[in-house]
Amino acid sequence: MARKFLYVFAFLIALVIAGALAYRLYGVEILRMALVPSETFRAQARVDPRIYADKAMWIARPDIPANPALWTPAGYAPEAKPKAAVFFIHPTSYIGRDHWNAALDDAETNARAAIFLRGQASAFNAAGDVWAPRYRQATFGAFLTSVADANRALDLAYGDVAAAFAAFVQQVDPRRPIILAGHSQGALHLTRLLREQVAGKPIARRVVAAYVVGWPVSATTDLAALGLPQCARPDQPRCLLSWESFAEPADTSMITDLYDRTQGFDGRSRRDTPMVCTNPLTGTPGAAAPASANQGTLYPSADLSTATIAPGKVPARCGDRGFLLIGEAPDVGSYVLPGNNYHVYDYSLFWANVRADALRRLAAYGAAR
């Protein structure tokens, strides 16, 4: 199971338990029964940022062996002396229901996280050294319930991320520009990190771009609090990118039904507000681009240990509400979520374009300085 993505694992459980029809009718309820922890949340002490001086607290950083973020497909190589430092927050890799938060030394959970870094954070290794911390992430089941313990679990996870970021800032040369990136739960924590640790602070001047991928950001109620505008040009530095990928026909209701019931960072309802949608093929908002603009999509091997890259396969356009639509479902793997949701592949669908985007914005940042 160490090589299966959490959502995929959950989906398969639902199919095994009740079959495809039952999943369509009662899927969320089945997932809750299977994956929401039964225990009461157990409070844990906040970590001291100083513990992140230990290399063992990082899944990726430039001075550790077997760094998964240094992986590249054939034809690419990490930059030997990249100009930037990248702080990357990996998505949920803990699927257990015994606890609300993962243990830092959970080998299976960390193995999944390393797989994610190979397919996601590796896109940035030409622009910067990638730092990706271990953190006591909230379990997948925390996203399937509204009980207060779920929020407590997410708050604990964010505390680790904030501590790791503080240590990252201390350990990186203060003259180096910074790229911030995350996916799914990692992107959620990145929105809080931007609000609390970056926006309006001196370090904001060092931020090349923030890639808040696989998590909705309301252009109306959220963006201003994050301290960065959405990227309007492909060569614009100091801005934010965000997208959520769906093949067509797309059923986005599992996201919009929840999104429309929440409040934005400014206290207003997110109902019917547009989400930030950056087309990764163009680096601009609200855009459409043909498959010929795609410089390279990752096609993973069956065991997810490696991948090949192929250009010109997947188009993209920003559709209603701000979802990124990629046309007919591409065959990039079997881990597609209900509703033609390509959440698992948000980075790998556009791996080469994300790589080029980061380099382009880094060059623009340097020119502006």
| Beta carbons within 8 Å of 158's beta carbon, 6+ residues apart | 189, 192, 193
Predicted confidence (pLDDT) per residue in 190-199, tens digit: 999 999 999 9
Mean pLDDT of 176-197: 97
Query: Residue type at 42?
Result: R
- Cut 0.75: pTM above it: yes
b/e per residue, 125-139, with b = 16+ CB within 10 A?
A: bbbbbbbbbbbbbbb
How sure is the predictor about 335, in pLDDT bands with cuts at 50, 70 and 90? Answer: confident
Whole-number pLDDT of residue 28 = 52
How sure is the predictor about 153, in pLDDT bands with cuts at 50, 70 and 90? Answer: confident
Cα dihedral value 185, 175, 63, 194, nearest 10: -10
Give the phi and the psi of residue 291 in degrees, each rounded to 5. -60, -30
- Do 122 and 71 touch, CB atoms closer than 8 A? yes
Give the phi and the psi of residue 54 in degrees, each rounded to 5. -80, 125
Whole-number pLDDT of residue 303 = 80
Whole-number pLDDT of residue 39 = 72
Tell me which DSSP letter residue 339 carries: T
Indicate if the pLDDT at residue 25 is higher than 60.
Answer: no
- Domain boundaries of the chain, sorted by first residue: 38-368
Indicate if the pLDDT at residue 44 is higher than 90.
Answer: no
Report the DSSP pairing between strands 245-246 and 128-133.
Answer: unpaired
Percent of the chain surpassing pLDDT 70:
87
Least confident of 4-18, 116-130, 257-271, 329-343: 4-18
Whole-number pLDDT of residue 10 = 41
Mean pLDDT of 47-66: 94
How sure is the predictor about 147, in pLDDT bands with cuts at 50, 70 and 90? Answer: low
How sure is the predictor about 1, in pLDDT bands with cuts at 50, 70 and 90? Answer: very low
How sure is the predictor about 14, in pLDDT bands with cuts at 50, 70 and 90? Answer: very low
Using only the alpha carbons of the chain, give its radius of gyration.
19
Q: CA 263 to CA 271: how far, in whole Å?
A: 8
Whole-number pLDDT of residue 149 = 77
